[in-house]
Amino acid sequence: MRNFFLISFLLILTNLMQISCYEDIEHEELTSRLAEEIAEKYFSIDTQNTCITIVADLGVLQKFSAVNFSLVRISSNSPNDSCDTSMAEFIATSLREKCARYIVQIARPECFLPAWFEAIKNTIFERHNPKIIYLPVNDQENSSYGDALLATNETNISPNILVIENSEEEEEWPLKIYTNNFHQLVHEPERSPKIYLDDWHPSVGFRYGVNLFPDKMRNLQQKTLRLFTVPYVPYSNNDPIDGSEVRMVKEFCNVFNCKVEGVYDGMQWGEVYKENRTGIGQVGALYTENADIGVGANTYWLEYWPYIDFSDCYLGGAVVMIAPKPQVLGGWLTPFLPFPMDLWLLVMGVVIASAVGLYLLTNLTMKVSPSLAKKT
Q: What is the C-alpha to C-alpha distance for residues 32 and 35, in angstroms, rounded to an integer? A: 5
* Interaction residues for ligand NAG, span 28-47 (CB under 6 A): 40, 44
3-state DSSP percent of the chain in helix, strand and coil, to 5: 35, 20, 45
Q: How does DSSP classify residue 327?
A: P
Q: How many residues does the chain have?
A: 376
336 interacts with ligand NAG by CB under 6 A: no
Distance CA 208, CA 253 (A): 32
End-to-end Cα, the chain, rounded Å? 133
Pick from 41, 22, 260, 266: nearest CA to 139: 22
Phi, psi of 76, deg, nearest 5:
-100, 135
Min separation Cβ 5 and ligand NAG, Å: 40
3-class SS of residue 53: strand
Q: Decide whether 82 or 254 has the Cβ nearer to ligand NAG.
A: 82
Between residues 81 and 168, which has the closer beta carbon with respect to ligand NAG?
A: 81
Q: Does 144 bind ligand NAG (CB under 6 A)?
A: yes
Among 68, 129, 221, 362, binds ligand NAG (CB under 6 A): 68
Q: Which of 1, 45, 67, 337 binds ligand NAG (CB under 6 A)?
A: 67
Q: Among 3, 48, 80, 371, which residue interacts with ligand NAG (rule: CB under 6 A)?
A: 80
Task: Identify the helix (H) or strand (E) that includes residue 20.
Answer: helix 2-20
Site string for ligand NAG, 154-193 (x = CB under 6 A): --------------------------------xx------
Size of the site for ligand NAG (CB under 6 A): 18
Q: In this complex, which beta carbon is closest to ligand NAG, that of residue 221 or of residue 278?
A: 278
Tell me whether residue 110 or residue 242 sits nearer to ligand NAG (CB atom).
Answer: 110
- Work out whether 58 is an interface residue with ligand NAG (CB under 6 A): no
Nearer to ligand NAG, 93 or 290 (CB): 290
Nearer to ligand NAG, 243 or 279 (CB): 279
User: How does DSSP assign 328-343, residue by residue?
Assistant: PPPGGGGGGTTS-HHH
The number of angstroms, rounded, from the C-alpha of 19 to the middle of its chain's C-alpha atoms is 41
Binding site for ligand NAG (CB under 6 A): 40, 44, 67-68, 80-82, 142, 144, 148, 153, 186-187, 273, 275-276, 278, 290
